[in-house]
Copies of this chain bind each other. A is one copy, B any other.
Amino acid sequence: MVTLPIPKTLDPLATKTKTMKALVYLEPGKKALQDRPIPQLAATTDAIVRVVKTTICGSDLHILKGDVSTCAPGRILGHEGIGTISEIGSGVTQFHVGDRVIISCISSCGKCDNCRKGMYSHCTTGGWILGNEIDGTQAEYVRIPHADTSLYRIPAGADEEALVLLSDILPTGFECGVLNGKVQPGGTVAIVGAGPVGLAALLTAQFYSPAEIISIDLDDNRLAVASRFGATRTINSTDGKAAEKLMAMTGGRGVDTAIEAVGVPDTFLLCQDIVTPGGTIANIGVHGKKVDLHLERLWSQNITLTTRLVDTVTLPMLLRAVQAKKVDPKRLITHHFTLDQIDEAYTAFGNAAKTNALKVIIDA
């Protein structure tokens, strides 16, 4: 029953060219598409993946602002994508060279205590390291540590572009927002923020058939998208009256689940104002500063509040759901670029209010 060693062949192209294009973080505010050496295997459990499609995440913008202290200048950015395995270490048993794979944004060893309880985000030798502590996916090639437990095989005939969204954003909306928020059939959900991650939560919340999904945002265009994606009602919160409006909509009851998908004190406060006794606030937002928690009101309200860095533990389930057409993550894709155009891609993604960009696909 022990798996036999699998022949490992090198990608001839990789061997020949030796260098590749890669988007490199230089210093706060600065990045450049550079020629870099093609990555090499560093451990027997590594794989090298020829990136086929990648995308840009809000976290990449955070890094570029200089907000992510673990990411050093010189780092190749990116933690999402699909590709083809070009080389594997001798300890990789689940994949072969040539396999088409989804790259999880979270590297997981599968062996440490946290991995064994499904909390891959806190893997003691992994977690969110790609495009952060080690070089990432906005390049022609990427080295993936712990390949057996950090890559996922793409089924034959799948729509690969859709699967780029399984690297990070769809599991993030689903795990941090929907699962942690205990969305249930017949329940009432508010999603604060209709950016890409809020919309990913909106798409995946519908797995559980809640009676109401109320999308809240400052931007009418995004709210229109939310309506098309399945929000039953929307609230533009520009006037600061979102809580009053929501309470009126729900007959004064509030929501069973409030999903925070922005990451600033005001939106977190709004969640506290609209959650019903016994309900849940599920935080997805990446917060840059502390927030007020009104325990002088909430101590007696039987509230649950959760935080989570995505584990991507649901990636196989989401893949089955995509294949079964229960969710279409491609609805999040608004723009397409090539790796040569990645500066334009960042511009489009970084100016979403003007460009209406949600997720941009980059062909590497």
Complex Cα gap A73–B115 (Å):
38
A289-B283 in contact given A119-B277, A122-B302 (Cβ < 8 Å): no
Judged by a CB distance under 8 angstroms, whether A116 is at the interface is yes
**Contact string against B for A residues 127-151, beta-carbon threshold 8 Å, 1 for contact and 0 otherwise:** 0010001100000000001001100
* Inter-chain contact B324/A232, CB cutoff 8 Å: yes
A326-B209 in contact given A110-B110, A110-B116, A277-B114 (Cβ < 8 Å): yes
**Contact string against B for A residues 208-237, beta-carbon threshold 8 Å, 1 for contact and 0 otherwise:** 111110000000000000000000100000
Chain B residues contacting A326 (CB-CB under 8 Å) are: 185-186, 209, 211
* Inter-chain contact A307/B295, CB cutoff 8 Å: yes
* Inter-chain contact A93/B111, CB cutoff 8 Å: yes
Closest CB in chain B relative to A358 CB, distance in Å: 22
Stretch with Cβ within 8 A of B (4 or more), from A7-15, A39-47, A239-247: A39-47
* Inter-chain contact A149/B185, CB cutoff 8 Å: no
Stretch with Cβ within 8 A of B (4 or more), from A193-201, A312-320, A333-341: A312-320
A149-B324 in contact given A292-B293, A304-B305, A307-B303 (Cβ < 8 Å): no
Count class of interface residues, chain A? 35 or more
A323-B211 in contact given A307-B299, A318-B186 (Cβ < 8 Å): yes
* Inter-chain contact B316/A309, CB cutoff 8 Å: no
Judged by a CB distance under 8 angstroms, whether A126 is at the interface is yes
Judged by a CB distance under 8 angstroms, whether A156 is at the interface is no
Residues of chain A in range 311-357 having any CB-CB distance to chain B below 8 Å: 311, 313, 316-321, 323-324, 326-327
* Inter-chain contact B302/A121, CB cutoff 8 Å: yes
Q: Among B129, B212, B290, which residue has its beta carbon within 8 angstroms of that of A1?
A: B129
Interface centre among A121, A302, A308, A316, by most chain B C-beta atoms within 10 angstroms, is A302
Q: Among B122, B283, B323, which residue has its beta carbon within 8 angstroms of that of A295?
A: B283
Judged by a CB distance under 8 angstroms, whether A288 is at the interface is yes
* Inter-chain contact A211/B324, CB cutoff 8 Å: yes
* Inter-chain contact B293/A290, CB cutoff 8 Å: yes
Copies in the complex: 4
Complex Cα gap A235–B278 (Å):
33
Chain B residues contacting A94 (CB-CB under 8 Å) are: 111
Judged by a CB distance under 8 angstroms, whether A300 is at the interface is yes
Q: 5 closest A-B pairs (Cβ-Cβ)?
A: A211-B324, A287-B295, A186-B317, A300-B309, A91-B91
**30 cross-chain CB contacts under 8 A:** A1-B125, A1-B126, A1-B145, A3-B43, A3-B125, A44-B44, A90-B91, A93-B111, A110-B116, A111-B148, A113-B316, A118-B118, A119-B278, A121-B302, A186-B317, A186-B318, A211-B321, A263-B299, A283-B299, A287-B296, A288-B296, A289-B296, A290-B292, A292-B292, A298-B307, A300-B307, A301-B309, A302-B309, A303-B306, A304-B304
A residues near B, CB below 8 A? Answer: 1-3, 5, 42-46, 90-91, 93-94, 109-111, 113-119, 121-122, 125-126, 129, 133-134, 145, 148-149, 184-186, 206-212, 232, 263, 268, 277-278, 283, 285-296, 298-309, 311, 313, 316-321, 323-324, 326-327
